[in-house]
Amino acid sequence: MNILWLQSAGCGGCTMSLLCAEGPGVFDLLRDAGLRFLWHPALSEHSGGEVRDILHAVEQGNVPLDILCVEGSILTGPRGTGKFQMLSGTGRSMLDWVQSLAPLATHVVAVGTCATYGGITSAGGNPAGAIGLQYDGHQPGGALPATFRARSGLPVINVAGCPTHPDWVTETLLLIAAGEIDAASLDALGRPLFYAENLVHHACPKNEFYEYKASAEKPGQMGCMMEHLGCVGTQAAGDCNIRGWNGGSSCTRAGYACINCTAPEFEEPHHPFTQTPKFAGIPVGLPSDMPKAWFMALASLSKAATPQRLAKNAVADRIEVTPTIRESKK
């Protein structure tokens, strides 16, 4: 199967992340699955006229396009022309190329949150008109209309994340190669369910602190970061703490709050990423999978029952109180 990978407006971080695929590496993995790059701007040897020939051959139908991958948002400025970002040497905008090639592809994959929903490149006043492939933030309809369907009948497959996990990309491509991805495999925002059906909260090493609402008060402390430090892992789609990154780590394992980078408009939370917005002392963003009233009742009970060990360790940068060793009754 042929993959054409276009890098649009973004930092290239999703490609850098993809290169961290391990055991096997990304090239061996794709080769063994019968997947090959027609062209990848950072990984292929082709350049200049060679690339133009590939693009025109695909556009004219002389080379089949099984998978079109787009990394980075699509710039629509100025005034909807897309000319803020021209595909070098072609005299045409990236917007024009994407709109021409996407209907020819059996599958279209948006790689990273910039490509899926606009992401970091759409933050602020967005003077360049950065949007996602099939979404503009939360709103359906981006560079491609909300009604767009690839030749497979599927909408754009949104492998969101900033950057996205390398395994999310490779697993999506392997599922496509195996014919094992369909509409039921995607959530309401087009994200593959194999990772989006989990919350970042799942398997977080701070879960014991969370259960007793034993909270960190400053960065670097061991406690749960939801109450004070802006962590939204209880609301964020992703198996980050189950799958692990780069050998097994994650944002929360490294002591940094989850900022929900797989979600539309995560880039503008309207408050500092490392501060939890509150109303009357209560966090505004509560877990997405339980009623707020239940959470508040359970939180009160949990705080009242917090073991001294957790209360002290939560505001420390290392374990200060170890678990109590009890002698078994004979």
Reported as a single tens digit per residue, the pLDDT across 258-289 is: 999 999 999 999 889 999 988 777 787 778 77
For residue range 204-232, list pLDDT tens digits in order: 999 999 999 999 999 999 999 999 999 99
First to last CA, the chain: 66
Angle, in degrees to the nearest 10, between helices 49-59 and 94-101: 40
Domains and CATH numbers, the chain: 2-194 (3.40.50.700), 198-322 (4.10.480.10)
The answer to whether the beta carbons of residues 259 and 200 sit under 8 Å apart is no
Closest C-alpha to 33, from 218, 215, 173, 221? 173
Whole-number pLDDT of residue 59: 97
Q: What are phi and psi of 162, to 5 degrees?
A: -135, 90
With CA atoms as reference, report the closest residue to 119 among 82, 85, 78, 162: 162
Span 88-102, average pLDDT: 97
Q: How far is CA 211 from CA 32, 149, 214, 301, in A?
A: 44, 43, 8, 10
Q: Which residue has the tokens 């290392």?
A: 318
Share of the chain above pLDDT 70, in %: 100
How does residue 326 score in pLDDT terms, banded at 50, 70 and 90?
confident
Compute CA 185 distance to the chain's CA centroid, rounded to the nearest angstrom. 16
Over residues 151-205, the pLDDT tens digits come to 999 999 999 999 999 999 999 999 999 999 999 999 999 999 999 999 999 999 9
Exposure string for 127-140, b = 16+ CB within 10 A, e = fewer: ebbbbbbbbbbeee
Q: Is 249 helix (H, G, I), strand (E, B) or coil?
A: strand
